[in-house]
Amino acid sequence: MKVPSFGTSLIRSLAMLGLFLVVTACMEEKRPQIVYPETDLSASPFMPIPDEVVPTGDAFGIDRHTGIYAPAADGELLEIADYLADRLQSRTGLRLPVNGSAENDIHRAIYLNTDTEKGPEDYDMYITRDSLLINAGSAAGAFMAVQTLRQILPETANDTLAEFPIWAVPTGKITDAPEFAYRGSMLDVARHFFSVEDVKKYIDIMAYYKMNVLHLGLTNDQGWRIEIKSWPLLAEVGGSTEVGGGPGGYYTQEEYKDIVAYAAEQFITIVPEVDMPGHTNAASVAYPFLNGNGKTPELYTGTRVGFSTWDARKDTVYSFIDDVVREISAITPGPYFHVGGDETHVTSQSDYIYFMERVEPIVRKYGKQMVGWDEMAIAKLDSSSIAQFWASEENAQKAVAQGMKVILSPAKKAYLDMQYDSLSPLGLHWAGYIPVDTAYQWNPVSYTAGLDRDDILGVEAPLWSETISELSELEFLAFPRLSGYAELAWSKEENRDWESYRLRLAAQAPYFRRMEINYYKSPLIPWPEMELPEPAIKD
């Protein structure tokens, strides 16, 4: 790698932001001549690893004389500038002014800019002694770059360089772009219900690692977790319990919209899943006409699968589905609607195919792309539909043969609810044990025979909740493995390396501590032994 020439790109980008050029000129004489200790940008604990990192061996100081600038006419970039100011305040206690003036006594500045020639989530970051420029393809790319900046910010300030604390960010250039457009995790809130605040915390952590899709499993045999106004008993009755017989719960539509909006602020798309025609016992208890297994439905609190189904040949079932898809689609601005379609053991194949081929036009009717587990590929579906590969390579190939994209969630590699090893207190192991190295050391592009790079929409790590009922238990299964799935989905294969990854993963411990994440301290990872200071404020 050679050291880049900052000149042309930097000058062109700065020219688009005249306000901070004026500020920089005004502050020229005020800048203190600080001598930083040698720093190495390439040694930063990036997660996921960027495309290219070129260090230049100096530092950019974030202190009380640093400001943040974004084009005044770009509302999205201004929001990201405010978000960055909030995050930096949480870490440092400093409130950096956004689009301040010379009166703010600014010596150095962070600039946010967009370049429409880049992909929407692509970005470059140019870091010199006096400026830190983020040049991104869109607001989404600027947001991803901000996560990188948060990661390269040192854990502590240097209080020997000046009479006030300075956080020294290493200088250099970072060039970055995602490998896959879809980088997600699935959270099962149906087997056990998780609160709005629990989901928001999960979103915060996903955003830190540049993940951009949260798939919510809203319904299953044990619970229906979202209010449907035209069918109120779904939530009132179907949401009244959970695995083990707990109180269950559900999101009102206002609460669900709050989750969707909160995720959108961090450039995360919510994918709602209403599993059908199987995993439907809770709905059939609320409205027995739906039931198609010939048995009287009763609330179920166990963990068995495959015993429930809806009546695939009854027109009123599809009227019901139309209402459900309509109401949820109206409050979900993202492009996807997940219909499940897995483990329909008591549905005949002919009924299953008929069902999926009737449901798919309903989903498209409300402007959504249908997503389903890989079983759905046995039906003849529109090429806009998306198959989620979890079990059957043959089904994934059938999906591609119909022109569909595939989301990779192979249970043997990507299921977060699998135990780390035989001693793990939480999780299952029907797909195998998944220690941290197994979770990371696989290649999404070559994992599934018959799938080319262009067939793959992205990677998703599902977390089913049969064995967990509290946020701390959720965190134990998700972390630190989720960080690895984020890197598999974002970073190029040639940049991924287990030895590098395990060291960078160990360096996430301070972040996990600040966020009060109950992570599994895998013996495969050289976690820091020093006693970390108690976090004053969450990151």
Residue 246 neighbours by CB distance under 10 Å: 14
Phi-psi region at 343: left, alpha or beta (left = phi > 0; alpha = psi -120 to 50): left
SS3 assignment, position 451? coil
Peptide bond preceding 232 in cis form (omega within 30 of 0) = no
Residue type, 274: V
- Asked if 185 and 478 count as a contact pair (C-beta separation under 8 A), the reply is yes
Among the listed residues 197, 226, 481, the one whose alpha carbon sits nearest the alpha carbon of residue 338: 226
SS3 assignment, position 311? coil
b/e per residue, 463-487, with b = 16+ CB within 10 A?
bbbbbbbebebbbbbbbbbbbbbbb
CA atoms within 13 A on the CB side of 132: 27
List CB contacts of 500: < 8 A, sequence separation 6 or more.
49
In which residue are the tokens 């087997």 written? 191
Asked if 343 is an active-site residue, the reply is yes
Beta bridge partners of 257: none
Q: Which of 52, 343, 357, 393 is catalytic?
A: 343
Alpha-carbon distances, residue 457 vs 142, 177, 415 (angstroms): 22, 15, 18
Strands annotated E in 63-191: 66-69, 108-114, 123-127, 131-136, 167-176, 182-188
Largest CA distance in the chain: 83
Q: Is the dihedral of CA 447, 451, 452, 456 positive or negative?
A: negative
Residue 353 class from Cβ within 10 Å (0-12 exposed, 13-18 middle, 19+ buried)?
middle
- Asked if 125 and 145 count as a contact pair (C-beta separation under 8 A), the reply is yes
Q: Which two tokens stand for residue 35?
A: 């001598």
Alpha-carbon distances, residue 28 vs 25, 107, 265 (angstroms): 5, 7, 35
Among the listed residues 158, 161, 135, 130, the one whose alpha carbon sits nearest the alpha carbon of residue 148: 135
d(Cα 421, Cα 127) in Å, to the nearest integer?
A: 42
Containing 58, the helix (H) or strand (E) segment is strand 52-62
Among the listed residues 328, 333, 192, the one whose alpha carbon sits nearest the alpha carbon of residue 262: 333
b/e per residue, 181-190, with b = 16+ CB within 10 A?
ebbbbbbbbb
List residues with catalytic annotation: 343
